[in-house]
Amino acid sequence: MDTVTVSNSNVLDYLNDPSPRTLGRSPLEWLERLQKPTVIRVAGRDRSRTRAMATLLHGNEPSGLFALHRWLLEQHTPEVNMLFLLGGVYPAKIPPTLSVRQLAEGRDLNRCFKAPFVGIEGAIAEALLAELRKARPECLLDVHNTSGTGPAFAVSITNDAAHQALTSLYTDRLIATDLRLGALMEYSEQEVPTVTIECGGSQDDQAHELAYDGLVRYASRPDVLSLENAEWDIDVLRNPIRVEIALEATIEYRLKPSGQADLTFPPDIEHRNFGVVSTEEPLGWIGEKGLEILTAIGHNRAENMEQILQVKGGQIYPAQAIRAFMITTNPVIAKSDCLFYAVKATGEPIF
């Protein structure tokens, strides 16, 4: 027997089959009207099944919000019931809107989907998980943007047919990781196939288009969990290592090093995203401190930099053929998050 749940009503707002009047003319107008993290339910042709999609867990990653607003305005009837979770409404509303990832004193919402559910973000995560448990969706997507520009990819903790089929709604690249951080995609552990979709850069029209096209496919197909219906083969990259730069080190993006920085990358380094880089291809230049300023972190421990990069004549080369991704030319992100991720050219883990 169902019990009436009122406990989430303080944390979340609810919209059922919202009309165009409720939604406003633009996603920004809609965002202005939203007061809390919001659950949106849309009834489908088959009312016995539900698919879920979370987005805006990070307030500065708008592709999913734009896609959802457009899709809702068009008043589609989805194949099955749809449950949408808009997480980071608070940071997204901070002016200038859609520019802040998380509240200044807050936590990263996509690290909060595990106990203890402390603080505002913990309460939101817990309430969203309760909605998922109630709705019992057959699958879940979490739609994000990457920090730099670059091609779309998916991330999951499981690499099976269902996760690959969900990936194929948006992209042909799946990063499978054993890392557990409290991210929403760990809902896979509840036997609900769950995939994070990184649509590409938050400023890219292409990313917004992809988020919309993917949502249309997700909501309109009778079956989104079988690989027979996949549009393309999925390229799986397993357990990438994270390359980080020391906090006190300096990085610059120039065609030639100025001699002032510990690390220099060419300004077009983002073009390396997902491509194979051989041991003969220089990635950039290293200063006098050498590779000491870099660390490589595998899915549960720090590892030896020498397996990834080597220095020849002041230039950095891969120590073995690698594929790197999430390379950014934003020095703030490069320093606060990471320089890039890498796997072997074959897609296998380096460690």
User: CA 79: distance to chain centroid?
Assistant: 25
**CB nearer to Zn ion: pick between 57 and 294:** 57
**CB nearer to Zn ion: pick between 144 and 344:** 144
**CB nearer to Zn ion: pick between 202 and 239:** 202
The residue number with the shortest CB distance to Zn ion is 144
The distance of closest approach from Cβ of residue 166 to Zn ion in the complex, given in angstroms and rounded to an integer, is 17
Binders of Zn ion among residues 34 to 93 (CB under 5 A) are: 58, 61
**CB nearer to Zn ion: pick between 203 and 226:** 203
Angle, helices 205-220 vs 63-73, to 10°: value is 50
**CB nearer to Zn ion: pick between 120 and 225:** 120
Q: Give the Cβ contact number of residue 268 at 10 Å.
A: 10
Site string for Zn ion, 148-187 (x = CB under 5 A): ----------------------------------------
> For residue 96, is the peptide bond before it cis, meaning its omega torsion is within 30 degrees of 0?
yes
**CB nearer to Zn ion: pick between 127 and 155:** 155
| Residue span binding Zn ion (CB under 5 A) among the ranges 37-45, 137-145, 202-210, 246-254 | 137-145
Residue 178 phi/psi, 5-degree rounding, is: -90, 0
Task: Tell me the C-alpha distance between 90 and 100, whole Å.
Answer: 9
The distance of closest approach from Cβ of residue 274 to Zn ion in the complex, given in angstroms and rounded to an integer, is 18
| Residue span binding Zn ion (CB under 5 A) among the ranges 127-135, 139-147, 181-189, 246-254 | 139-147
The distance of closest approach from Cβ of residue 339 to Zn ion in the complex, given in angstroms and rounded to an integer, is 18
| Residue span binding Zn ion (CB under 5 A) among the ranges 75-83, 138-146, 264-272, 319-327 | 138-146
The position carrying tokens 């994000």 is 144
Binders of Zn ion among residues 282 to 321 (CB under 5 A) are: none
Kind plus residue range of the DSSP H or E element containing 194: strand 194-201
**CB nearer to Zn ion: pick between 29 and 337:** 337
In contact, 191 and 132? CB cutoff 8 Å: no
The distance of closest approach from Cβ of residue 223 to Zn ion in the complex, given in angstroms and rounded to an integer, is 28
In contact, 84 and 17? CB cutoff 8 Å: no
**CB nearer to Zn ion: pick between 94 and 291:** 94
| Residue span binding Zn ion (CB under 5 A) among the ranges 84-92, 125-133, 143-151, 176-184 | 143-151
| Residue span binding Zn ion (CB under 5 A) among the ranges 136-144, 182-190, 263-271, 283-291 | 136-144
User: 96 burial class (0-12, 13-18, 19+ CB within 10 angstroms)?
Assistant: exposed
Residue 43 DSSP code: -
Q: Give the Cβ contact number of residue 247 at 10 Å.
A: 8
* Binding residues with Zn ion: total (CB under 5 A): 3
Task: Tell me the C-alpha distance between 224 and 293, whole Å.
Answer: 44
Parallel, antiparallel, or unpaired: how do β-strands 13-16 and 322-325 relate? unpaired
272 binds Zn ion (CB under 5 A): no
The distance of closest approach from Cβ of residue 37 to Zn ion in the complex, given in angstroms and rounded to an integer, is 15
In contact, 260 and 294? CB cutoff 8 Å: no
144 binds Zn ion (CB under 5 A): yes
Which stretches within 136-171 are classed as H helix?
161-167
The distance of closest approach from Cβ of residue 143 to Zn ion in the complex, given in angstroms and rounded to an integer, is 9
The distance of closest approach from Cβ of residue 144 to Zn ion in the complex, given in angstroms and rounded to an integer, is 3
The position carrying tokens 């042909």 is 172
The end-to-end CA distance of the chain, in Å, is 49
Q: For residue 204, which of 252, 250, 273 has the smallest C-alpha distance?
A: 273
The distance of closest approach from Cβ of residue 52 to Zn ion in the complex, given in angstroms and rounded to an integer, is 17
**CB nearer to Zn ion: pick between 101 and 163:** 101
The residues near 37 (Cβ < 8 Å, ≥ 6 apart) are: 11, 12, 13, 85, 86, 87, 88, 89, 90, 124, 127, 128
Binding-site ranges for Zn ion (CB under 5 A):
58, 61, 144
